[in-house]
Structure formats: C-alpha cells, structure tokens
Amino acid sequence: MNAETNIFAGLDMARLDKRRRRINRIMLSLTAVATLFAVIPLFWITIYVIIKGGSYLNLDLFIHLPQAMGTEGGGVLHAIEGSAVMVLFASIFAIPPALLAAFYLLHHPNTPLANFLRFSTDLLSGIPSIVVGLFGYAVIVIVQKHYSALAGSVVLAIIMLPVILRSAEEMLKLVPQELREGALALGSPEWKSALTVVLPAAAEGVVTGIMLGIARAAGETAPLIFTALGNDNYEIFQYIRQTIQYRQGVGEAFKLILEQPTDALPLTLWKYAQQPYPERVQQAWAVALVLMLFVLSLNIAARLWLAKRRRQRYG
C-alpha cells in the first residue's frame, strides 16, 4: 500500500492521462497520414489513367489493326492479341515447372538442392527484366535469326517463374502435413495426394501467386523490345483463317502465330507515347487503360472465383 502510493506521489495523474491521450491522438493521425500517402499513388494513377484514357477508349481500339501514323482511327488489336498469346504461352512454360519445383521444396525442404533452388530463384527474381530480355535476344533471337512471340513468351516465363514458385511454396507449406499423411495412409500414391489433396487445399494462394506472375508478365516492356520487337500486322484470327482457307496444317498456324515479330500492350504503349502525333499519344493513354483493366480484371476475377470456392467448401 505504501509502496504504491509512493510511486505516484507528487504526480498529477489527470495531467499525465491527458498527455498520454494527446500523444496517442498525434501518433494515430500520423499513421493515418502515412497510410494515406501509401494509398494516394494507387488511386491517383488509377483515376488519372481512367480520365486520360477513358475519353479515347472506343470499340475500334479492340477490333482494328493500327492505321498509319498521324491518321485518325485504327486500333491496337495486334497488341491485345500479341499480349494474350505471349502471356498464355509464358504461363504454359512457367506454371508447370514452378509448381513441380514448389512440391519438391515442400517435400525436401532442407536438401542442398532445395537451398540452391531457393537461392537461385531469389537471384532470378532480382535480375532486371531488361537483362532477361537481352538473354532472350542472345539465346533465341540471334540463333533463330528472327524476332518472335516464342522468344517473348520464353523471357516472360523466366520473369514469371520465381514469382509463382516462391508464392506456391509458401502456400503449399501452409497445408497441414496431416492432410497429406492422411491421404497417404488411405493408400493414395504421392502424386495423387499432391494433386487432389494438397494442391486444392492451397489453391487459393497458388492461384493468387499465378495471377501475380501473369500480371507482372503482362506489364513487362523492356524484355519484349529485344525479343518480340513489335508488329503492326499481327492478327491471329487472320492467320487461322488463312491456314484454313489454304488447308494448311495446325503447324502452319502455330508457326504464323509464334514465329513472327509480335506486339504487346506495354510495348505499344511505350512506342506510341513517344510519337509526335497526338492521335498516337491518345491511343497510348487508351492502351494504358486497357492494360490496367486487364490486370485489374484478372485480379478481381481470381478473387471472385476464390471467394466462391471458399463459400462452397466452407459453407
């Protein structure tokens, strides 16, 4: 009793309390300001792009190939299709090895190979994308003697790979060991438990990682300058029609689609934005909006799908 009263003796409790509250208020508002600063760029960019790009957005943009410079009209169909093709093939190249490697890391987390794998994926994700592009130029473009969607897909896959691998590993690690062991105890082979028990349990995180990887690849410009180059005439439906018309095989269609210089949305944005013609700069803004909406809708679609899945599974 005495000791306690002694500690607070001579202190004005009411004043102390007021001071504490004041400091609390100040710090709270400081964190609020900091949060605002973190959020402002996102909304600023989004709103700015919507305002600048929105007024130039029209149907032509999605269904026409580019016109000559300095003339009104025309679209960026070539870039939309090129982006779709390259991101699709990059995903095909990157996702299977990334998931397999993630499973390896899950099962053998502490072997020298696993440590080496982790270390090298970290290094890989740190390599500037333009260097990856130069690599693609040296290894694919110079060897093949032409720029191509294939070369673009490969460099995009290299950029996607570490993003997907590391997030998949983290997500698979969260699946309780007992689940997998239970499946194994019931006589399921390892691959089956991986595919039907572990992967579905971690699906949400893995899919989010894949989406992040795709979004990253869809926005890359620098590596494509060296590998895909750009092509104002790229139109896959025309290539498909053409091969059907002349009764050529599927191989010929794939060759036309994959073995030609190809455009992409960020590449077109970069090229158009530095053109002297106002029409091109306006289209660049519209392309920026399309690119942003593409990445955004990919994100939102994935989230919606995941939310639905979660509702179905957990009621």
Partner 1 sequence: MAKKLWLILALVLTLSMVLTSCGGGQPVSPAGGQPAGSAGAITLNGAGATFPLPVYTEWIQMYKAVQPDVTLNYQGIGSGGGQKAILDGTVDFAGSDSLLKDDQYAQMPDLQMLPMLAGAVVPIYNVPGVDDLVLDGPTLVDIFMAKITNWNDPAIAALNPDAQLPDAPIVVAHRSDGSGTTEIFTSYLGAVSQEWTDNVGVGKAVEWPADANGQGVGGKGNPGVAQAVQSTPNSIGYVELAYAKSNGITFADMINAAGNRVTANAETMQDAMAAFADAFSDRLTAKIVNAPGEKSWPIMGYTYMIIHMQENQDCAKTKALLDYIQWAISDPAAAQKAADLGYATLPDAVRDLVMAKLQEVQCNGQKVLP
Query: Interface with partner 1 includes 225 (CB under 8 A)?
Result: yes
Query: Interface with partner 1 includes 69 (CB under 8 A)?
Result: yes
Report how many residues bind partner 1 under the rule CB under 8 A.
41
Residues 252-271 that bind partner 1 (CB under 8 A): 252, 256, 260-261, 271
For partner 1, which residue of 230, 284, 290, 291 counts as binding (CB under 8 A)?
230
We find the least distance from the C-beta atom of residue 68 to partner 1, in angstroms, to be 4
Query: Interface with partner 1 includes 92 (CB under 8 A)?
Result: no
Q: Do 214 and 160 touch, CB atoms closer than 8 A?
A: yes
Any idea what DSSP says for residue 11?
A: -
Query: Interface with partner 1 includes 188 (CB under 8 A)?
Result: no
Question: Measured between alpha carbons, how far is 183 from 1 in angstroms, rounded to an integer?
Answer: 62
- Whichever of 11 and 68 has its CB closer to partner 1, that residue is 68
Query: Interface with partner 1 includes 238 (CB under 8 A)?
Result: yes
Q: Do 239 and 257 touch, CB atoms closer than 8 A?
A: yes
Q: Is 263 exposed, middle or buried (0-12, 13-18, 19+ CB in 10 A)?
A: buried
For partner 1, which residue of 9, 68, 186, 250 counts as binding (CB under 8 A)?
68
- What are the DSSP calls for 28-70, one per residue? HHHHHHHHHHHHHHHHHHHHHHHHHHHTT--THHHH-PPPPTT
Query: Interface with partner 1 includes 118 (CB under 8 A)?
Result: no
For partner 1, which residue of 30, 45, 123, 142 counts as binding (CB under 8 A)?
142
Query: Interface with partner 1 includes 208 (CB under 8 A)?
Result: no
Query: Interface with partner 1 includes 246 (CB under 8 A)?
Result: yes
- Coil, helix or strand at residue 6: helix
- Whichever of 115 and 297 has its CB closer to partner 1, that residue is 297
Query: Interface with partner 1 includes 88 (CB under 8 A)?
Result: no
Helices (DSSP H) in the chain: which residue ranges?
2-8, 13-54, 60-63, 77-107, 112-126, 129-136, 142-144, 149-173, 177-185, 190-193, 199-218, 222-227, 236-245, 250-258, 265-273, 278-314
Per CB under 8 A, residues contacting partner 1 are 62-70, 75, 77, 141-142, 145-147, 225, 229-233, 235, 237-238, 241-243, 246, 248, 252, 256, 260-261, 271, 274-278, 308
